Chains A and B, each alone.
Chain A
Amino acid sequence: SAVISQKPSRDICQRGTSLTIQCQVDSQVTMMFWYRQQPGQSLTLIATANQGSEATYESGFVIDKFPISRPNLTFSTLTVSNMSPEDSSIYLCSVRGTADQPQHFGDGTRLSIL
Chain B
Amino acid sequence: AQSVTQLGSHVSVSEGALVLLRCNYSSSVPPYLFWYVQYPNQGLQLLLKYTTGATLVKGINGFEAEFKKSETSFHLTKPSAHMSDAAEYFCAVSTGGGADGLTFGKGTHLIIQP
Q: Which chain A residues have a beta carbon within 8 Å of chain B's beta carbons? A: 1, 31, 33, 35, 41-45, 48, 56, 58, 92, 94, 99-100, 102-108, 110
Q: Among B52, B97, B104, find the residue whose CB has the most chain A CB atoms closer than 10 A.
A: B104
B104 and A33 form a contact (CB under 8 A): no
Q: How large is the interface on B (under 10, 10 to 19, 20 to 34, 35 or more residues)?
A: 20 to 34
Q: DSSP class of B's interface residues: helix, strand, loop or mixed?
A: loop
* Contact among A45, A48, A108 for B103, CB-based, below 8 A: A45
> Do A102 and B101 touch across chains, with their CB atoms under 8 A apart?
no
Given contacts A103-B46, A105-B44, A110-B41, 7 further A-B contacts (CB under 8 A): A42-B104, A42-B105, A45-B101, A48-B99, A58-B101, A105-B43, A106-B43
B34 contacts partner chain A, Cβ-Cβ < 8 Å: yes
B111 within 8 A of A: no
Q: Is B77 an interface residue (CB 8 A)?
A: no
Indicate with 1 or 0, residue by residue over B67-109, a CB within 8 angstroms of chain A CB atoms. Answer: 0000000000000000000000010001011111111111100
Task: Specify which chain B residues have a CB less than 8 angstroms from the CB of A33 in the assembled complex.
Answer: 101-102
Q: In angstroms, how far is the closest chain A Cβ from the Cβ of B53? A: 10
